[in-house]
């Protein structure tokens, strides 16, 4: 379980490589959706990061990456939030987020917020350089090639847009999924097409969002897979919500849950039977 290798809750949770016995320190960026709606994803992420030979801390003063404000044009609040995030995570060797869209915000957009401010630009650059989406961190940074997990059933994988296009997350989750014992991976038709979530888009333009997710749900059902996976909880909730509204039997989970062998909890939007 995730609770046997955590760092003591020192102020800022700072650790050095020496203190952690040569293992890099990772600050887990939980993301607001995981924090609020599906904490099990956070625990699955911790288990995986520890399996990759790192020590994980969860700084208490994190809230949101600032993307809702950023994409709504509120640069002032976004910057304030970003300053808090950067400062909070400065003590760690790496920052890892179980989300391509938060990861993309932290890694590729923070620099934009501090243009013209030399000191903060440097801090932001250092922060972004050490920040990764979860699966990309495991495979690209830690060199993970397989996981010790099993999953009886077929899954199909949706490429969430930010992870795919901002961070290049595509082959990594498929590689690890293929190593899960018993798991059958079925490729989703148009896997790289948007699911229609888009943050506030899905509530600002619900009719259009519904058309897009309806099409995605059709493809998911057509794949024949029992379970839908992706690396972004927003997208997952959007797709799960649509599948369930349509009465489809597909289960939806975050890819971390399956990779960490923690897929025994109820799937998204479901309860224990």
Among 242, 251, 253, 254, binds another protein (CB under 8 A): 242
Count, in order, helices (H) and strands (E) of the chain.
15, 8
Among 191, 244, 254, 262, binds another protein (CB under 8 A): 244
Is residue 125 a contact residue for another protein (CB under 8 A)? no
Question: Judged by CB under 8 A, which stretch of 150-158, 169-177, 187-195, 223-231 contacts another protein?
Answer: 187-195
For 53, what's the count of Cα atoms within 13 Å in the CB-facing half-sphere?
11
Q: Are 96 and 29 in contact (CB under 8 A)?
A: yes
**Residue closer to another protein, measured from CB, 60 or 126:** 60
Spatial CA neighbour of 5 closest among 36, 29, 28: 28
Is residue 213 a contact residue for another protein (CB under 8 A)? yes
Q: State the binding string over 79-108 for another protein (x if CB under 8 A, else -).
A: -xx--x------------------------
Q: Which residues contact 18 (CB under 8 A, 6 or more apart)?
A: none
- Which of the residues 143 through 182 are near another protein (CB under 8 A)? 161-162, 165-166
**Residue closer to another protein, measured from CB, 49 or 237:** 237
Q: What are the residue ranges of helices labelled H in the chain?
A: 32-37, 39-51, 67-71, 75-89, 100-104, 110-113, 118-129, 134-136, 161, 167, 171-178, 201-204, 206-223, 233-245, 255-259
Question: Judged by CB under 8 A, which stretch of 14-22, 117-125, 147-155, 263-271 contacts another protein?
Answer: 263-271
Q: How many residues bind another protein (CB under 8 A)?
A: 74
Q: State the binding string over 14-33 for another protein (x if CB under 8 A, else -).
A: ----------------x-x-
Q: State the binding string over 52-81 for another protein (x if CB under 8 A, else -).
A: ------x-xxxxx-x-xxxxxxxx-xx-xx
**Residue closer to another protein, measured from CB, 142 or 216:** 216
The CA–CA distances, whole Å, from 108 to 26, 56, 255 equal: 19, 23, 22
Query: Beta partners for 183?
Result: 153
Q: How far is the CB of 160 from another protein (least distance, A)?
A: 9
Return left, alpha or beta for 153; rule: phi > 0 is left, psi -120 to 50 is alpha, else beta. left
């Amino acid at each position: 379980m995730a609770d046997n290798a955590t760092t003591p809750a020192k102020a800022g949770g700072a650790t050095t490589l020496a203190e952690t016995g040569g293992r890099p320190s990772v600050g887990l960026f939980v993301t607001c959706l995981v924090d609020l709606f599906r904490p099990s994803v956070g625990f699955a992420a911790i288990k995986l990061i520890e399996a990759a030979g790192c020590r994980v801390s969860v700084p208490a003063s994190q809230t949101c990456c600032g993307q809702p404000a950023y994409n709504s044009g509120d640069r002032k609040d976004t910057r304030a939030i970003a300053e808090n995030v950067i400062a909070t995570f400065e003590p760690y060797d790496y920052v890892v987020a179980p989300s391509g869209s938060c990861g993309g915000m932290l890694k590729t957009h923070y620099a934009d917020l501090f243009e013209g401010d030399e000191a903060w630009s440097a801090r932001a650059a250092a922060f972004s350089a050490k920040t990764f989406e979860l699966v990309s961190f495991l495979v690209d940074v830690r060199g993970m090639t397989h996981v010790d997990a099993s999953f009886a059933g077929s899954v199909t994988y949706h490429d969430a847009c930010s992870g795919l296009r901002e961070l290049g997350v595509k082959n990594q989750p498929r590689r690890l999924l293929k190593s899960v014992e018993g798991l059958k991976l079925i490729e989703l038709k148009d896997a790289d097409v948007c699911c229609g979530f888009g943050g506030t888009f899905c509530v600002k333009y619900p009719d259009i969002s519904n058309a897009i997710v309806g099409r995605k749900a059709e493809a998911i059902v057509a794949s024949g897979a029992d379970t839908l996976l992706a690396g972004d909880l927003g997208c997952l909730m959007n797709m799960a919500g649509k599948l369930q509204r349509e009465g489809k039997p597909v289960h939806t989970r975050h890819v971390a849950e399956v990779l960490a062998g923690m897929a025994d909890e109820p799937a998204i939007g479901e309860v224990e039977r």
